[in-house]
Amino acid sequence: MTDKKQTKNLIEELAKKAEPVKQAMSPLLKTGIFVLISLLYIAFMVWAFYTPRQDFISKLSTLAFGTEQFIALLIGVLAAAASLWISTPGKAGGKPLKYTAGGLLVLLIITLLFGEDMHNSFHALDMNMLLRGTHCSFDIMVFALPPLFLLFYLIKKLAPTKPALAGFFAVLSVVAFSYLAIRATCAQDNIHHQMSSHILPLFIYITAGYFIGSKFLRW
């Protein structure tokens, strides 16, 4: 009886100290906050430390370039939502977000290859031009790292059960936003440069994100 009484007293004591659990913020609301912070950071970086291409406004009004930028923005938003959604306990149905982000990535490449601003830029491969364009690959990483640290922090707090997949979509999100910045600052529309210095690095960083997530997002 003594043990039962002590257990009952302990339960009653703990019940007095119990407080309502604060409801977790919706992953979609977190996505909105993250996207806003990321875009403000990228806009600040572009105008404070880089020089926007002189024809950016006129290029943005063209169908191909405008579509390309819109698709990249959608990829960034949807991939961020997917990374947070699949990391939130009790949430299901993240597959549409994942598949949509992946499908848009393919669509972005198609837009690049067949867009009107790229169609006339096919010419002989210039290795010197490719080597000079390697700085774009580095700039993509510069734009991406601070938002990535923020998104990884948000994901890590959720104790994700799929850390590798969360890392993959987190990196996909930030490099998509970085792509917006690099196209706003790099005036080189040649398809060889675009594929080697803009698109290829994205795939490298995204693949790395899968393995980085599996290591650093575990709990």
More confident residue, 71 or 95: 71
Tens of pLDDT, residues 187-214: 888 777 888 888 888 889 999 999 999 9
Tens of pLDDT, residues 13-55: 655 665 555 566 788 899 999 999 999 999 999 999 998 998 9
Q: Is 88 helix (H, G, I), strand (E, B) or coil?
A: coil
Query: What average pLDDT does range 68-79 have in this prediction?
Result: 90
User: Domain ranges in the chain?
Assistant: 25-216
CA 181 vs. chain centroid, Å, equals: 13
Instruction: State the pTM of this model.
Output: 0.81
Q: How far apart are CA 147 and CA 170, in angstroms?
A: 9
Q: How far apart are CA 5 and CA 3, in angstroms?
A: 5
Q: How far apart are CA 154 and CA 168, in angstroms?
A: 15
Tens of pLDDT, residues 105-158: 777 777 677 664 554 554 545 555 555 557 888 999 999 999 999 999 999 999
Q: Is 165 helix (H, G, I), strand (E, B) or coil?
A: helix
pLDDT of residue 156: 93
**Residue 17 backbone zone (phi > 0: left; psi -120 to 50: alpha; other: beta):** alpha
Cβ atoms within 10 Å of 108's Cβ, excluding its own: 22
pLDDT of residue 197: 85
Helix, strand, coil percentages, rounded to 5, for the chain? 80, 0, 20
Q: How far apart are CA 214 and CA 138, in angstroms?
A: 23
Which two structure tokens, joined as six digits, stand for 36?
């806003």
pLDDT of residue 64: 82
Note whether 34 and 155 are within 8 A (CB). Answer: no
Q: How far apart are CA 11 and CA 5, in angstroms?
A: 10
- C-alpha gyration radius of the chain: 22
DSSP string, 172-207: HHHHHHHHHHHHHH-----HHHIIIIIIHHHHHHHH
Cβ atoms within 10 Å of 123's Cβ, excluding its own: 9
